[in-house]
Structure 1
Amino acid sequence: MKIVFYGSSLLSSYWNGAATYYRGLLRALAAHGHDITFYEPDAFGRQQNRDIDPPDWCRVVVYEASPESLARAVAEARQADVVVKASGVGYADDTLLAGVLEAAAPHAIRIFWDVDAPATLADLQAEPDHPSHAALQRLDLVLTYGGGDTVVDAYRVLGAADCVPIYNALDPTTHHPVAPDARFASTLGFLGNRLPDRESRVDAFFLAAAEALPQRDFLLGGSGWGDRRLPPNVRNIGHVPTRDHNAFNVTPMAVLNINRASMAATGFSPPTRVFEAAGAGACLITDEWPGIDLFLTPGEEILVARDGRDVADHVAGLTRERADEIGRAALRRVLAEHTYESRAILVDTLLRRLAAEKAAGLAA
């Protein structure tokens, strides 16, 4: 099928945590024979901070963040069998969604792919006049980054024809074990951009643990932390490009995952960092959220912390040997059950079923 996908960015992970999710899923979908074009706006300095070149498995079109360029990109939707608008594109999102739904051909499958369902649902529930309410009635399917039954039920209540979580996963061609890199040497590393509903949790889980263990060295990666006051044993290295994520994950004795507040509350939404770290064979400590045990086994394949004290206790009790054992177990689990190929099989099955239903409806 010919798929057009409107998202934040495939080429850059700069202020764009969804990049590796898009890359893993779309690469795997392309391997199932789909012809994919990804449309992304030139916004937020992402094009100046690319971490991959345009891939051979997907055509990428970068358009200016202007009404004229947006209109040209939207017009391309009429050529597609599947039209996907992702959440959080970053320029004129409401206009883009309305435009691609209008431009889509009668036979086309219309999908909204929500990579931040808790935030989107909060907006829709708080704003009865939000334009996305009308758009939901015209969609064939909502796909989400995760969320479990809570998100599925919420979307159905709002009028979605169907909602299916497509969880993050591992792309073993991009995230895998590598040799340690002295640039990232530390006891505990955390990689995440500074965001309003994450910062207080970084304080509680990462910085509090650093203050509790002043003799240990902590590593902070991600954009936006430059003006933040940090404990003296925390080293801030700024944005870490995708090409360095494997080394960042395997070099510290352990790495920490901290969900944003909305994701942690909703649960069942393991972020890309979980699978990327596991795919590199890292020992991962995560904040607690519902559904962890569906993906990795606490205490054996991942360590779970309720607060910064738990993080500090995990770090204080770890040896390199124990950390390596946990990392190896996590790697085995994600390779067996949580690759993007397995997620792509689900998406491919959904697309083929919807295409058959559309064809039957048009023929009736």
Structure 2
Amino acid sequence: MSRGLRIAFFGSSLVSAYWNGAATYYRGLIRALHARGHRVTFYEPDAFGRQQHRDMADPDWARVVVYTEQGTADVERCLEEARHADVVVKASGVGVFDALLEARVLDLTRPGTQVVFWDVDAPATLERLAHHPDDPFRALVPRYDHVFTYGGGEPVVSAYRALGARQCVPIYNALDPSTHHPAPVEARFTGDLAFLGNRLPDREARVEDFFLKAAEHVPGARFLLGGSGWEARPLPSNVTRLGHVYTHEHNALNCSARAVLNIHRDSMARFGFSPATRVFEAAGAGACLITDAFLGVELFLEPGREVLVARSGEEVAEHVRRLTDAEARRIGQAALRRVLAGHTYTHRVSQVEAALGLRNGSATTTRECVA
């Protein structure tokens, strides 16, 4: 590439996965962008205890700028600095100054600059707009050069186009093989089924069905529950609480349990085409993945050969009963081959570059991209 882009990226956090499910997605994408010659500055707030629970130092593949949530002067300084970027990204769910950033990044448009809204939870955003017609963000959607989403497929694309989006492109979750890969077994993570996810209101009922009820159906099996927020929740006797599992421990968890469970949040399950980062983390480690059924799963992994699909806790329990070590290894290895062949962040960044109109290493104008 003859000239990389200067990208200013406003997101929740790059350096902390604490109460921040988008961290793996951001890291994979931005590392891959760096490898393609682009220079990313990631602006994140000092909020929600994330800086106190960092799980990585500032990387050498991105510049990280942390701004205070006390007053707007600091974030305005970051916006002024971002004025010199070729691409300015406002991600959804920053958690601090979201409305301000959604409007203010659009003021940074100049010849040669593209402004992107990158929705890391499109189902939630679209449902919010559907229930609140006066939401200020609705009027801003047509002003962005691009809307990127990390899932949702055609249902999300159609919904954003109906809101006037110039272009909406799903950039799905994927695998970063440098961070998620097979690892040695650790005794504390051994068991029959592991689930990793924070306790969230729009997922708890599905966790109750697909994980906790499944555990009750197979009382002789060992179930592992990782994530924050579960401390006060009564659990079946065969479920072991792990608490917060840091990202550097995910490979060991995925490789130590016989199978790993993925459970979508309510909104993502309704829209479909929204595989979570956990799906690719597990597949990258060669783990046997059981996922709740979602529309479009076959675009990513082949049911029965590369992933096991369940439509209820009873079906999860049945998979756990029947799954042998040999079968689990076979499914995990098939999933690993599939994601390495077509679902890495290098593959996703190629889509980003195409959407931005890169030709021979240079970006076209926004008019050329849309025409």
Matched, 1:25 2:33: no
Q: How much does 1:75 deviate?
A: 1.6
Counterpart CA distance in 1 for 2:187 and 2:73 is: 47
AA matched with 2:365: E
Q: Among the aligned pairs, what percent are the same residue?
A: 61
- Give structure 1 stretches of 5+ with no counterpart: none
Aligned to 1:153: 158
Aligned to 1:219: 224
Q: Which stretch shifts more, 27-36 or 122-131?
A: 122-131
Moved over 4 A (4+): none
Q: How much does 1:360 deviate?
A: 6.8
Aligned to 1:177: 182
Matched, 1:85 2:83: no
CA contact (8 A) 1:32 1:348 kept: no
Aligned to 1:203: 208
Secondary structure at 1:297 match in 2: coil
Q: Which stretch shifts more, 98-107 or 127-136?
A: 98-107
Secondary structure at 1:29 match in 2: helix
Aligned to 1:74: 79
Counterpart CA distance in 2 for 1:280 and 1:360 is: 40
Output one character per residue of 1:1-23: Cα deviation in whole Å (capped at 9) or x when no partner: 11000000000111001000000
Counterpart CA distance in 2 for 1:38 and 1:267 is: 29
Matched, 1:64 2:72: no
AA matched with 1:232: S
TM-score w.r.t. the length of structure 1 is: 0.97
Counterpart CA distance in 2 for 1:107 and 1:320 is: 55
Relative to 1, partners in 2 of residues 1:154 and 1:359: Cα closer, same or farther, differing over 3 Å?
closer
Q: Which stretch shifts more, 267-276 or 120-129?
A: 120-129
Aligned to 1:114: 119
Aligned length: 361
Aligned to 1:13: 17
Secondary structure at 1:5 match in 2: strand
Aligned to 1:340: 345
Counterpart CA distance in 2 for 1:203 and 1:17 is: 20
AA matched with 1:37: T
Q: How much does 1:72 deviate?
A: 1.4
Aligned to 1:317: 322
CA contact (8 A) 1:79 1:104 kept: no
Counterpart CA distance in 1 for 2:144 and 2:265 is: 28
CA contact (8 A) 1:144 1:163 kept: yes
Q: How much does 1:120 deviate?
A: 0.3
Matched, 1:256 2:258: no
AA matched with 2:14: L
Q: How much does 1:351 deviate?
A: 1.8
Aligned to 2:364: 356
Output one character per residue of 1:175-221: Cα deviation in whole Å (capped at 9) or x when no partner: 00011011111111000000001000000000001011111111000
AA matched with 1:357: T
TM-score w.r.t. the length of structure 2 is: 0.95
Aligned to 2:54: 50
Matched, 1:278 2:283: yes
Counterpart CA distance in 1 for 2:78 and 2:109 is: 12
Relative to 1, partners in 2 of residues 1:358 and 1:203: Cα closer, same or farther, differing over 3 Å?
closer
Aligned to 2:236: 231
Aligned to 1:191: 196
Aligned to 1:38: 42
Q: Which stretch shifts more, 121-130 or 308-317?
A: 121-130
Counterpart CA distance in 1 for 2:113 and 2:365 is: 11
Counterpart CA distance in 1 for 2:39 and 2:262 is: 34
Counterpart CA distance in 2 for 1:236 and 1:145 is: 29
Q: Which stretch shifts more, 96-105 or 252-261?
A: 96-105
- Give structure 2 stretches of 5+ with no counterpart: none
